[in-house]
Amino acid sequence: MSENQNIDHSTDESIVRSNFIHNIIDEDIENNVYDRKVHTRFPPEPNGYLHIGHAKSICLNFGTAKKYRGLCNLRFDDTNPIKEEVEFIESIKKDVKWLGFDWEERMYYASDYFEKLYECAIILIEKGKAYVCDLSAEQMREYRGTLTSNGKPSPYRDRSVQENLDLFKRMRAGEFEDGARVLRANIDMESPNLNMRDPVLYRISHATHHRTKDDWCIYPMYDYAHPISDALEDITHSICTLEFEAHRPLYDWVLSELDFKQPPKQIEFARLELTNTVMSKRKLRKLVEEGYVNGWDDPRMPTMSALRRRGYTPEAIRDFCDKIGVAKAISQVDIALLEHCIRDNLKLKEARMMAVLRPLKVVITNYPADKVEYFKVENNQESPEMGTREVPFCREIYIEQEDFMENPPKKYFRLYPGNEVRLKNAYFVKCEEIIKNDAGEIVEIRCTYDPETRSGSGFTGRKVKGTLHWVSAQHAVKAQVRLYDNLFLEQEQAAVSESVELDGMMLNKNSLEVIESYIEPSVKEAKSGQRYQFIRNGYFCVDAVDSTPEKMVFNRIVSLKSSFKIKN
């Protein structure tokens, strides 16, 4: 088949743009390296929730399969019995689906292959390529040598095949304590690559596995289980992150010694690193377990479940993964790019509402107390097909506190004593009086309005420089609004902000602000997860966990402005 016939040229945006991995695949197709379809896999260890870094890997693996009309498997790498939990498996499945990818019927577990992996170990022993070693972990480290010194052979390296078979079977049968013995590959103690100095293939662990229960008390190591799992699933291109580069010779060694035909090939790429973000599952888990955040889906977390709850869309995350590209060189991506992607995705899709986050009451003294007008307003001026809605106006309204100043500086065009501004979609109002409480704080503004200046009436008598958004006090929905800032601070930010250090993470003490706000009444109908633009204030979504019809809760997904300039 020629290359052109093999590639899916549809314009589906879930197909990743071309990258160096695709060049390798193109070459393999050209040279007929495989007589099977391009086949990738996404192999998470079910020991935590997926994060935005995993999204990069998911988009790459599933996107590559799609591009070449191939297949991508979901495989749980559950070779470590201690750390894995069913909760994580369910969340991983949900996240992959939500991102828009489908493993069809190909969901596997490395633990499905335990018997097969054991048989392969027997083959290696029979070939003299693996042996049972009784050195302690500490002794083994000593014998291994260092980058600058050779290793020396284990005294158990020359055991007979017979003795190795007998001991390995007895390891499986549970005769020995944890750590008493291991099975090691017999490769090369003088290799410059430490991974090749007789690496451990199996260890003893009398632990209950979440799927195989107590069937096994020996467990295969990742470097041994992974290539074989790939080969058993007919994977052609095993894409992983850069830290496995030095493990590739071992990956190839295992498959070659076991005589797999057309073995899969491992290709490494640079993992995603984002500013203001920590992506180690171990560290994220610590934040959850020690109560620094409210669970894995706390909207400040970099997990997929948190991004979903915050209001991110799968389209925005896929777009982000496409924009960052795939390369060998590690580089840190500015989190502003992720924010750019969600703004861009929501811009034309979501209705633009008026919400007053920090309210200040305004009374329009010459507007009748019992009068209500309804103004027809476009839902999104850039998307006329989104229709219109009615917004009520009456004598008492709220504006943002920051839209009024008693003693304004030059070039302040919003409301101040004696100044006239436009109320968006409504009338011009002029500030006549300030009401303060006993403490001297401003609690209310009194204005007059000019009935001639109604928006849309064609009024051209005079111009004003400021336009303010507002909500009708009588009609507005009082809601809780949660504003988020980065949970993690970069070093230089931590130096000038309130932060707390935990396990190397610099946590922002001010990453969450909860306020009571007023929102125009049309949001009453909103469903859980529904998104809006609140003009000037950002994109928001109805919190899927805490919002109720009686007490609505909104998350700010992202503010409207960014200093970030995107090149393409």
Which residues of this chain interact with Mg ion, rule CB under 5 A?
45
Residue 75 near ligand ATP by CB under 6 A:
no
User: Quick one: what does residue 556 bind among ligand ATP, Mg ion, none, with the CB cut-off 5 to 8 Å set by partner type?
Assistant: none
Instruction: Scan residues 343-372 and list those touching ligand ATP (CB under 6 A).
Output: none
Q: Residue 488: beta bridge partners?
A: 507
Least distance from C-beta 518 to ligand ATP, angstroms? 40
∠ Cα 217 219 223 (to 5°) = 170
Answer for which of 171, 196, 240, 338 binds ligand ATP (CB under 6 A) is 240
Q: In degrees rounded to 5, what are phi and psi of residue 163?
A: -65, -40
**Residue 567 CB coordination number (10 Å):** 4
User: Quick one: what does residue 157 bind among ligand ATP, Mg ion, none, with the CB cut-off 5 to 8 Å set by partner type?
Assistant: none
Q: Which residues contact 83 (CB under 8 A, 6 or more apart)?
A: 45, 47
Answer for which of 205, 212, 280, 383 binds ligand ATP (CB under 6 A) is 280
Tokens read off for 24 = 């390798």
Q: Which residue is nearest to ligand ATP (CB)?
A: 53
Q: Which is nearer to ligand ATP, 238 or 379 (CB)?
A: 238
Token pair 């004593």: residue: 417
Residue 281 near ligand ATP by CB under 6 A:
yes
Residue 272 near ligand ATP by CB under 6 A:
yes
Tokens read off for 48 = 């935590």
Q: How far apart, in Å, are the Cα atoms of 103 and each of 40, 113, 409, 463, 542? A: 11, 19, 60, 60, 30
Instruction: Scan residues 5-44 and list those touching ligand ATP (CB under 6 A).
Output: 43-44
Does residue 75 contact residue 43 with C-beta atoms inside 8 Å? yes
User: Quick one: what does residue 352 bind among ligand ATP, Mg ion, none, with the CB cut-off 5 to 8 Å set by partner type?
Assistant: none
**CB-side neighbour CA atoms (13 Å) of 471:** 26
Q: Which is nearer to ligand ATP, 286 or 446 (CB)?
A: 286
Does residue 548 contact residue 526 with C-beta atoms inside 8 Å? no
Cα 309 from chain centroid (whole Å): 11
Q: Which is nearer to ligand ATP, 271 or 358 (CB)?
A: 271
Q: Binding residues for ligand ATP, how many (CB under 6 A)?
A: 14
Least distance from C-beta 221 to ligand ATP, angstroms? 14
Q: Which is nearer to Mg ion, 17 or 282 (CB)?
A: 282
SS (H, E, C) 153-170: CCCCCCCCHHHHHHHHHH
Q: Which is nearer to ligand ATP, 304 or 423 (CB)?
A: 304
Tokens read off for 205 = 């662990």
SS (H, E, C) 515-533: EEEEECHHHHHCCCCCEEE
Which one of 26-34, 226-234, 271-279, 292-300 is the stretch in contact with ligand ATP (CB under 6 A)?
Answer: 271-279
Q: How many angstroms separate the CA atoms of 344 and 340, rounded?
A: 6
Token pair 């008493």: residue: 180
Classify the C-alpha dihedral 158-159-162-165 as positive or negative.
Answer: negative
Instruction: Scan residues 39-68 and list those touching ligand ATP (CB under 6 A).
Output: 43-45, 53-54, 56-57
User: Quick one: what does residue 57 bind among Mg ion, ligand ATP, none, with the CB cut-off 5 to 8 Å set by partner type?
Assistant: ligand ATP
Q: How many angstroms separate the CA atoms of 528 and 539, rounded?
A: 15
User: Quick one: what does residue 53 bind among Mg ion, ligand ATP, none, with the CB cut-off 5 to 8 Å set by partner type?
Assistant: ligand ATP
Q: Which is nearer to ligand ATP, 43 or 70 (CB)?
A: 43
Least distance from C-beta 57 to ligand ATP, angstroms? 4
Q: Which is nearer to ligand ATP, 327 or 348 (CB)?
A: 327
User: Quick one: what does residue 240 bind among ligand ATP, Mg ion, none, with the CB cut-off 5 to 8 Å set by partner type?
Assistant: ligand ATP
Cite the active site residues: 45, 271, 281
Does residue 392 contact residue 475 with C-beta atoms inside 8 Å? yes
Answer for which of 18, 191, 205, 241 binds ligand ATP (CB under 6 A) is 241
Least distance from C-beta 226 to ligand ATP, angstroms? 10
Classify the C-alpha dihedral 58-61-66-67 as positive or negative.
Answer: positive
Residue 275 near ligand ATP by CB under 6 A:
no
Q: Which residues contact ligand ATP by CB under 6 A?
A: 43-45, 53-54, 56-57, 240-241, 271-272, 279-281
